[in-house]
Amino acid sequence: MRLTRSFVALPLRAGETVALPEDAAAHLVRVLRLQAGDACVLFNGDGLDCDARIVSVGKREVLAEIVATRRVDSESPLAITLLQGIARGEKMDLILQKATELGVTRILPASSERSEVKLDAQRADKRVAHWREVVVSACEQSGRARVPEVAAPQPLARAAALREGRGFILDPFAQQGLVALQGGALGACTLAIGPEGGWSPRDREQLAAAGFEGLRLGPRILRTETAGIAAIAALQAMAGDLG
């Protein structure tokens, strides 16, 4: 039987007993009905899964004993950064969830000329907290023991300057297709995916100035919630991660 995995932002060491954070305790005890003596798996993003056992369930505190730790080898050999034009509500959640499941290492939400979502400082903080919850939940479900970084929203030019490895803009009219990347070791790359309205000419100029190049992923124009997922899956397959 597959054990429930739960993220906890705590140091986890074999032989120690920890008080579970409120959200993890509520999920394990109130939602999943775990009781004292039941087993679970805890992780904190350091690349380890920790086999644990619920020691006690109190009104104010749930204690778990870390029985053993083990290295999780579920990360891709290709470090993908997703530079995502901010999309509306559920679309953005879907993008982050599936990108995490497919193995991205970092997510850069970016505002651009055609962004339909405008965030002030207070709304941005709340949205980032929510996005990080979505990513953590996707890690719990998919078996990842490292949690992708979710950066604060920032203007496109600033996000583009954080490019790692080769940068790509999906473009059905680009001369370079996926075939051109076969056989080469990328190691790291950054995918720039526009918001619902796509990249404006000025956005494309900023991305080109930051070293991004066009990449053809078939002849069709994909929606923002499809483009990144499709490109990540294609690149991971080329890198051997989905083999």
Is 123 in contact with 93 (CB distance < 8 Å)? Answer: no
Whether 206 and 94 map to the same domain: the answer is yes
pLDDT of residue 107: 98
Of 71, 87, 122, at which residue does a domain stop?
71
Whether 198 and 107 map to the same domain: the answer is yes
pLDDT of residue 184: 65
Whether 53 and 97 map to the same domain: the answer is no
pLDDT of residue 69: 97
Closest Cα partner for 143 from 242, 234, 8, 47?
Answer: 47
Is 110 in contact with 228 (CB distance < 8 Å)? Answer: no
One pLDDT digit (tens) per residue for the chain, 243 residues? 567 899 999 999 999 999 999 999 999 998 889 999 999 999 999 999 999 999 999 988 999 999 999 999 999 999 999 999 999 889 999 999 999 999 999 999 999 888 777 777 788 889 999 999 999 999 999 999 999 999 999 999 999 999 999 999 988 888 898 888 876 678 899 999 999 989 999 999 999 999 999 999 988 889 999 999 999 999 999 887 887
User: What is the phi/psi pair of residue 58, to 5°?
Assistant: -115, 175
Instruction: Give the per-residue SS3 of 45-106.
Output: CCCEEEEEEEEEECCCCEEEEEEEEEECCCCCCCEEEEEEECCCHHHHHHHHHHHHHCCCCE
Whole-angstrom Cα distance, residue 157 to residue 181? 25
Whether 112 and 172 map to the same domain: the answer is yes
Whole-angstrom Cα distance, residue 142 to residue 151? 21
CATH number of residue 33's parent domain: 2.40.240.20
The alpha-carbon radius of gyration of the chain (Å, integer) is: 20
Of 71, 102, 122, at which residue does a domain stop?
71
Per the structure, the complete domain to which residue 203 belongs is given by 79-239
Whether 60 and 84 map to the same domain: the answer is no
pLDDT of residue 241: 84
Of 71, 96, 126, at which residue does a domain stop?
71
Whether 50 and 162 map to the same domain: the answer is no
Whether 167 and 192 map to the same domain: the answer is yes
pLDDT of residue 46: 95
Whether 96 and 211 map to the same domain: the answer is yes
Task: Count other C-beta atoms under 10 Å from residue 225's C-beta.
Answer: 19
Whether 89 and 119 map to the same domain: the answer is yes
Domain count for the chain: 2
pLDDT of residue 234: 93
Closest Cα partner for 94 from 77, 78, 82?
Answer: 82
Is 54 in contact with 37 (CB distance < 8 Å)? Answer: yes
